[in-house]
Amino acid sequence: MSKKNRSALLQWVVDIVVMAVAAVIFSVGAVCFISPNDIAPGGGTGIAIILGELTGLSLGTLIALVNVPLIVAGFIWLNRRIMIKTLISVAMITVMTDYVFADLPEYRADGGNGILAALFGGALLGAGVGFTYLREATSGGTDIVAKILNRYQPHLTLGRLQLITDAVVIAVGYAVFRDLDSALYAIVSVFVQSKVVDMLVYGGQECRFLLVFSERPREIADRLLKGDKGVTLLSAQGAYSGASQQVVATAVYKNDYARVKRIIRETDPAAFVVTTGASEVLGEGFQKLI
């Protein structure tokens, strides 16, 4: 076997292991917290929980049934490598939900304690989905619908499409369960789930990216370099004046932002600074690129 083939095989093994861990976390959240409290937090799992109330079938079986037509559509319109991994992920979740963890103790929220079920269930579902995303796969459900719609309606972002599909599922859940508390807990669960996914996929360290337009770019760059900050000098030209100048570009962690602004202000109080949030910065001095 060539080195390239060994590397590809190892990559698949790692993918399967991580997706299996993700399926464990996801299934525990669904079995212990979400399903017992009639919380339908959007997605394929929410649809399966609603159908379980109507049909009496097991959660894992319904997750599989909901995803079959979606996965078929995904193979037609989306990347096949992603859909193969999605198929594996859904199969793992189905088996673990119905067989491996079917007898786990259930947390039933009595006396208005559903918020705990929503928080812990949402966090576990989010962790499962997040780890799955890290291996370039999905956990199925409305993720596939959102990706297909985005392909043909690119002006609609995936986040907005996901929000729309989740809102529809939560509304249907309210109509079926006739319980406003369950619908509100579903909204909380979706919110927590999205935050956990973002933290896992994009990293927990929020950063700031700065572009500094100044008459003293070299001095600012030197002071930032002395403070162990990575700096790039970009060549630019003023559109109005036509004059050439250098623009200071740097990325810093949020807790260093105030110090960097102070350095810029002390060096050139007349500097023009553009700052934007960076959800993830990879490379030397930040998170490792993996």
Residues 35 and 112 both lie in one domain:
yes
Q: Which of 213, 285, 214 is nearest to 251 (CA)?
A: 285
Using the 3D structure, point to which of 162, 180, 202 is the last residue of a domain: 202
| Domain-located, residue 288 | no
pLDDT given at position 255: 66
Cα separation, 157 vs 153, whole angstroms: 8
pLDDT given at position 94: 94
Residues 236 and 264 both lie in one domain:
yes
| Domain that residue 232 falls in | 207-278
Distances (CA, A) of 288 to 104, 158, 214, 257: 37, 26, 31, 21
Residues 103 and 222 both lie in one domain:
no
pLDDT given at position 204: 59
SS3 42: coil
Cα separation, 63 vs 65, whole angstroms: 6
Residues 219 and 169 both lie in one domain:
no
| Domain-located, residue 133 | yes
What b/e string do you get for 21-40 counting C-beta neighbours within 10 Å, with b at 16 or more?
ebbbbbbbbbbbbbbbbbbb
Q: What is the pLDDT along the chain (290 residues), one digit of tens a residue?
A: 677 778 788 889 999 999 999 999 999 999 999 999 989 988 889 999 999 999 989 999 999 999 999 999 989 888 888 899 999 999 999 999 999 888 888 888 775 678 899 999 999 998 998 898 888 788 888 878 877 887 777 776 666 777 788 889 999 999 998 888 889 999 999 999 888 887 787 665 668 899 999 999 999 999 999 887 889 999 998 888 888 999 999 988 776 788 889 899 999 999 999 988 876 677 766 666 66
Q: Give this prediction's pTM.
A: 0.75
| Domain-located, residue 164 | yes
* Token pair recorded at residue 168: 């529809």
Cα torsion angle, 124, 125, 130, 135, sign: positive
Using the 3D structure, point to which of 162, 181, 202 is the last residue of a domain: 202
Residues 198 and 101 both lie in one domain:
yes
Cα separation, 146 vs 109, whole angstroms: 32
pLDDT given at position 289: 62
Contacts of 266 (CB under 8 A, 6+ apart): none
